[in-house]
């Protein structure tokens, strides 16, 4: 629980900054907004609209792996928590089947609780990276990648300033 409380504020700040960037711009393209919102609604949908289909299985593998890890660590945490409660309930009829003493049970509870919280953090991180990736891809969809990199500046007195850069790779 300690880990999740530490990262909750940072996650809220990152989401607010992303929403500020999304809605705070004055000249934004509707496609960028649409792709970002689609990816926020359904992970991977923004990548599909950006025609980056190969990213969708990676996103779902990451989300599935972190959900599996979260569920597994939560089950182990509850298992050791109930074993600790059984060991410390002062009832002589209760048998501790775990084979651990109370100090070890506390250590195991802390370990699995922290692992569960870290899995939840990684789930939120993968979700946010999915949204950021869709937004960046939507921004770069019309980016020109050709061999002619040139810059032309025209001044008001009809003198032409030409600056060109050619890179051959």
Q: Write down the pTM of the prediction.
A: 0.66
What CA–CA distance (Å, rounded) separates 160 from 164? 13
- pLDDT recorded at residue 56: 94
What CA–CA distance (Å, rounded) separates 156 from 38? 44
Cα 58 from chain centroid? 12
pLDDT in tens, the chain (169 residues): 565 555 666 666 666 555 555 544 444 467 788 888 989 999 999 889 888 899 999 999 999 999 999 999 999 999 999 989 888 887 777 777 778 888 999 999 999 999 999 999 999 999 999 999 999 988 887 776 666 666 555 555 555 556 666 676 6
- pLDDT recorded at residue 25: 44
- pLDDT recorded at residue 13: 64
Beta strands in 123-167 (DSSP E): 148-154, 160-166
Instruction: List the one residue out of 56, 23, 26, 54 whose CA is nearest residue 39.
Output: 56
**Cα torsion angle, 45, 54, 120, 12, sign:** negative
- pLDDT recorded at residue 4: 56
């Amino acid at each position: 629980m300690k880990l999740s409380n530490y990262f909750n504020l940072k996650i809220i700040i990152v989401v607010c900054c992303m929403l500020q960037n999304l809605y705070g711009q004055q000249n934004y393209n509707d496609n960028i907004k649409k792709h970002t919102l689609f990816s926020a609604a359904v992970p991977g949908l923004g990548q599909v609209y950006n025609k980056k289909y190969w990213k969708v299985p990676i996103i779902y593998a990451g989300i599935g792996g972190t959900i599996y890890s979260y569920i597994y660590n939560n089950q182990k945490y509850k298992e050791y928590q109930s074993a600790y409660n059984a060991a410390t309930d002062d009832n002589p009829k209760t048998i501790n089947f775990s084979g651990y003493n109370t100090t070890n049970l506390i250590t195991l509870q802390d370990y699995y609780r922290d692992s569960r919280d870290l899995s939840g953090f990684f789930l939120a991180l993968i979700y946010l990276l999915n949204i950021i990736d869709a937004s960046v891809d939507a921004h770069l969809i019309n980016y020109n990648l050709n061999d002619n990199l040139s810059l032309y500046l025209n001044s008001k007195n009809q003198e032409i300033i030409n600056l060109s850069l050619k890179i051959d790779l």
